[in-house]
Amino acid sequence: MAKSNDSLEHRGRFQAQGRGVEESESWAQEKPLSVSKGLGLLGKLIGKLKPKDYERRKKPFKKAQAFVVEAGENGGVFAHLGRSFRVKGSKDERVDIEVLGGKAFVKENNDE
Amino acid sequence: MNKIKDKHINQPKFLFKNFLKDRRVYALNQRYWEKELAKHLSEKQILKKNWVNQQFADGTLFYDGNPIFSLLLKKNKAVRIIQEEPESEQPEVGAWVQTTEDLQSNPINELVIALELSDLTKDLVVQLIHDWVKEEVDQTIMEGLITERLERI
């Protein structure tokens, strides 16, 4: 019998990448990551960046935050998920969301 | 006068311009990528089409082009195409290689291309993917090829 996605380890990461920036915040846990914890990790990632690097990625971060919230409204999202929000006009400056195992961005009442 | 003419000539002509507004166009756009890449890749090279999730857990599709198409390839490689809202007067395309993981935690080297699809950018995607599937092209070589090819746009 196939394992359900909920029985897998739930893991993933947020990344700010490109033009010399390489920062990330990851998670790996028994239960799906909640929306609020996802937004918290994105906030921590923003805190790791130099102000100018955050300024350039302000729109991508807003899109990443909006996606986490929208996912919460739609039951979360299963792995493998890869979404990248690029700074327009750049080669590779971006914010990434990756769900590498299990499920993420569930509403609080579904969380631990 | 010439400047105006040149500017007009160099402006991108968008393909599937309404893909974010019309779901029929979106589906045609996805099919376009599938057919376009099938011309340049053999079935033997492809492990899975659309291996990157495009829907929420309740089944609602993203419908935002992020990603619009993806491939899991042999040799621990993958491709992800992000099609962005067509809005720029200049050709818009970015690309990079990163390491991700499959569901069994195997490392996967992934070529990601983010673009506004136009007559000026469509061929570049095919060129980059053509480069990436070559066995001898690793992450370092590919980064060089990306820089070289983007400079020509």
What ipTM did this prediction achieve? 0.91
Tell me the chain A residues in contact with residue B82 when contact means C-beta distances shorter than 8 Å: 84, 86
Which pLDDT band, with edges at 50, 70 and 90, does A1 fall under?
A: very low
The residue written with tokens 């067509």 in the block is B86
Contacts of B128 (CB under 8 A, 6+ apart): B95, B111, B113, B145, B146, B149
Q: Percent of chain A, pLDDT > 90? A: 88
pLDDT of residue B3: 44
CB nearest B100 (choices: A18, A82, A88): A82
A111, pLDDT greater than 60: no
B46-68 in b/e form (b: 16+ CB < 10 A) is beeeebbbbebbeeeebebbbbb
Whether A3 shows a pLDDT value over 60: the answer reads: no
Q: Which residue has the higher pLDDT, A5 or B113?
A: B113
Q: Does an H or E element contain A55, and which?
A: helix A51-56
In this predicted structure, the answer to whether residue A5 has a pLDDT above a threshold of 60 is no
Question: How does the average pLDDT of chain A come out, rounded?
Answer: 92
Report the pLDDT value the prediction gives residue A39, as an integer from 0 to 100: 98
Average pLDDT over residues A77-99: 97
Strands A81-86 and A94-101: antiparallel
Give the neighbor-by-neighbor strand order of the sheet with B46-49: B46-49, B69-73, B77-83, B107-115, B93-101
Question: Quick one: pLDDT at residue A8?
Answer: 53
Q: For residue A69, give the 3-state DSSP assignment.
A: helix
CB-CB contact of A68 with A61 (8 Å): no
Strand bridging mode B46-49 / B69-73: antiparallel
Cα–chain center distance at B50: 12
Say yes or no: A110 contacts chain B, CB-CB below 8 A: no
Interface of A with B in 67-96 (CB under 8 A): 70-71, 74-86, 88-94, 96
pLDDT at residue number A6 = 42
Question: Which residues in chain B show pLDDT less than 50?
Answer: 1-5, 7
Nearest residue of B to residue A10, measured between CA atoms: B103
Say what the pLDDT of residue A69 is.
98
Q: What is the pLDDT of residue B8?
A: 54
- Do residues A97 and A64 make contact, with C-beta atoms less than 8 angstroms apart? yes
CA distance B90 to B12: 6
What length does chain A have? 112
pLDDT tens-digit map of A29-47 = 999 999 999 999 999 999 9
